[in-house]
Amino acid sequence: MSTPLRIAVTALRGFVADTFVALGMPRADAEIQADALVNADLCDMHTYGVVCMPAYADCLTQGRINPRPDIRMERRGAWAWACDGDNGMGHLVATRAMNTAVSTAEEAGIGVVAVRRSNHFGAARLYPVLALKKNFIGIVMANSSPAVAPWGGREKLLGTNPIAVAVPAGRHPPFVADMAMASAGRLKIREAARKGLSIPADWAFDSQGKPTTDPAAALSGSLAPMGGAKGFALITLVDILAGVLTGAQFGGGVLSFLTNIDREADGGNLAIALNVEVFMPIADFSRRMDTLIDNIKRVPAVEGVGEIRIAGERSAKAEADQRRMGVLLDSDVVAKLAALGETLGVRFPEPNQ
């Protein structure tokens, strides 16, 4: 049985960066990659954190993802850019895109970057929060490999297609929403399969389009869109904005980073940064956000609910706790990472005592 272990944040980040350098990434890019994966774990989004490293290592060593991409930004106007990710790691490409959107919003009030030729970028929340450093609003969306059938259909066609938004506040933590447009992400279902667990009946359908609690049947079938037909409309919208508009693959054409043997995945992102000061002073906006959050929290909770929380509040607490005590990883994950490090000459850090 797997047991949880605590790994110091700095030591874990160093291991991840050193591992990606050993896999052929430049040091600066590997540091960005390490920040992305460790930050996902810090926010309790462990299915998008360091657990993914062995799969990414396979992609890099097999040449399915470019370890040294020439990420090209082409300006298309005062506020708009087109980004060619050159089949690089999705975390690296999305970070570059969001940082470009933020710097553009400083000049023009808004920055928009349309990304093509990218790969799986993990937890979507990692990128809009970069806009918070300037007290901007950040929005990121991505299309992905087929996982969800059209509403009423039996064959998966579009991805889980996440949307993530980060909005600064004042006294309260920022509002940070990260929503895959399916009832659950595939990595959560793969994690359930790995642990021999069942899944909720509203997460997925089997190959015949019937609800299932078996993660294996779910992975061979399709995921349920969040909110039924309305959720599938949102999935389609993301495919339009992150796929059709950007020049990336769309309509079922994006490949999974786990199976892109014949060609690059060619996923698309859309990164947007909004400069709040264009509309009002940030102090006024922060007060208004705090009022909104206060009003939400004043609503009486139903029986069994300790408190009403806003999107991002639980992750903020998890991050603070894990920065202090160390990142919590299952022992079987630690064993796999240690084995990966050993093959590359990188030593995995000792767990906290």
Does residue 256 lie in a domain region? yes
Q: Domain of 322?
A: 1-62+316-353
Query: pLDDT for 202-243, tens place per residue?
Result: 899 998 889 999 999 998 899 989 888 999 999 999 999 999
Say if residue 185's pLDDT is above 80. no
Torsion angles phi and psi, residue 214, rounded to 5: -90, 115
91 and 56 assigned to the same domain: no
350 and 236 assigned to the same domain: no
Read off the pLDDT band of 260 (50, 70, 90): confident
| DSSP string covering 190-206 | HHHHHHT----TTSEE-
Strands (E), 29-118: 72-75, 80-84, 110-118
Count Cβ atoms within 10 A of the Cβ of residue 303 and give its class: 0-12 exposed, 13-18 middle, 19 or more buried.
exposed
57 and 9 assigned to the same domain: yes
Answer for the pair 105, 113: CB distance below 8 angstroms, yes or no.
Answer: no
Q: Which residues have a Cβ under 8 Å from the Cβ of 69 and sit 6 or more positions away?
A: 85, 86, 87, 88, 89, 92, 93
pTM above 0.85, yes or no: yes
Q: Please state, in angstroms and rounded to a whole number, the distance separating the CA atoms of residues 319 and 326.
A: 10
Q: Please state, in angstroms and rounded to a whole number, the distance separating the CA atoms of residues 309 and 290.
A: 13
- The b-or-e profile of 210-231 (16+ CB within 10 A means b, else e) is eebbbbebbbebbbbbbeeeeb
What is the radius of gyration, based on Cα positions, of the chain? 20
Q: Which of 298, 325, 342 is the last residue of a domain?
A: 298
Does residue 188 lie in a domain region? no
Q: Please state, in angstroms and rounded to a whole number, the distance separating the CA atoms of residues 10 and 15.
A: 9
148 and 271 assigned to the same domain: yes
Which range of 60-74, 202-216, 255-269 scores highest in mean pLDDT? It is: 60-74
Say if residue 1's pLDDT is above 70. no
Distance from the first to the final alpha carbon of the chain: 20
83 and 41 assigned to the same domain: no
Does residue 280 lie in a domain region? yes
Q: Which residues have a Cβ under 8 Å from the Cβ of 170 and sit 6 or more positions away?
A: 283, 286, 287, 289, 290
What CATH number is associated with residue 85?
A: 3.30.1370.60
Query: pLDDT for 312-322, tens place per residue?
Result: 999 989 999 99
Does residue 218 lie in a domain region? no
Mean pLDDT, to the nearest integer, of 269-297?
97
233 and 142 assigned to the same domain: yes
